[in-house]
Amino acid sequence: MPALLNIVGAGHVGRTLGRLFAARGVFAVQDVKTRSAASARAAVAFIGAGTAAAGAVRPAAVWMLAVADDAIGPVAAALAQSASMAGSVVFHCSGAKASGELEALRRAGAVVASVHPVRSFADPAAVAAAFDGTFCGVEGDAAALAVLLPAFEAIGARPVQIDPAAKTVYHAAAVFASNYLVTVMDAALRAYQAAGIPADVARELARPLATETLANVLRLGPEAALSGPIARGDAATVARQHGAVAAWDGPTGALYDALAAATWDLARRKGSAQA
């Protein structure tokens, strides 16, 4: 029989993983506990298994804490006081916090870890349907990982061991690759619109530039992928653009300036690599 799994916090990540664990028979989802009964019921419906816990959560072999980053420590402390955790495996799904956030549960006799799927979970159903091959940053107690690594591999994950001391920098890498990429594209689309181009046309203008550039970065590396005025050393064009963008929108001008400084550094690395 699969081990019992309790889920505490069932937003996009928790419900996606819960559905995968249940559908592939990796764990038997038992109790789902969230901040409201309605959200717990919705999570159970999405997962297709488990019981929405209105009160105390029953003991289980494995616990997944899929709560907000700042709630991990307090939730762990509360569970350590209110539930029998001795011998349980407990993991959280944060990319920003290390497994040390679960120290209260470790002191209560549990073994702990963190497993962070490197995906955007904006559409849980789509992620669940195409989870195979997803990288997951993992770290924690060896006894916990002995249970969790095969469980995640069974749902198609590709675990990558990370240094818990560098967890914040690790998560910042994901923010750069995902969240800040959206911010940069937002600036590009707004600038196109400021030049009189309709929003739908602006997205089509940006599409080949963005997709081809990203493909080149991932295929060739950042130095080889860099093109444009900074790569050519055209400082006058960069200064003129910065002035025009700052006159149009001050915060976007500041973003342009910060990105230009970082891009000059990248261009110098490109030149060193070619020398």
pLDDT digit string (tens) for 215-232?
999 999 999 999 999 999
Q: How far apart are the first and last CA of the chain?
A: 62
Q: Which residue has the higher pLDDT, 251 or 1?
A: 251
Strand order from edge to edge, sheet including 158-161: 51-52, 27-33, 3-8, 62-65, 89-92, 111-117, 135-140, 158-161
Give pLDDT tens digits for 131-174: 999 999 999 999 999 999 999 999 999 999 999 999 999 989 98
pLDDT score of 273: 76
- The chain-wide mean pLDDT, for the chain, equals 96
Average pLDDT over residues 99-125: 96
Angle between helices 250-274 and 179-194 (to 10 degrees): 120
Name the band, by pLDDT with cuts 50, 70 and 90, for residue 275.
low
83 pLDDT more than 90: no
pLDDT score of 120: 87
Average pLDDT over residues 248-267: 97
Q: Quickly tell me which residue has 């490197």 as its tokens.
A: 118
Q: Which residue has the higher pLDDT, 82 or 232?
A: 232
Domains of the chain: 3-165 (3.40.50.720), 178-274 (1.10.1040)
CB of 61 closer than 8 Å to CB of 36: no
Buried b (16+ CB within 10 A) or exposed e, 7-43: bbbbbbbbbbbbbbbbeeebbbbbbbbbeeeebbebb
Angle between helices 12-23 and 37-47 (to 10 degrees): 40
CB of 29 closer than 8 Å to CB of 46: no
pLDDT score of 55: 84
Q: Which two tokens stand for residue 104?
A: 């209260």
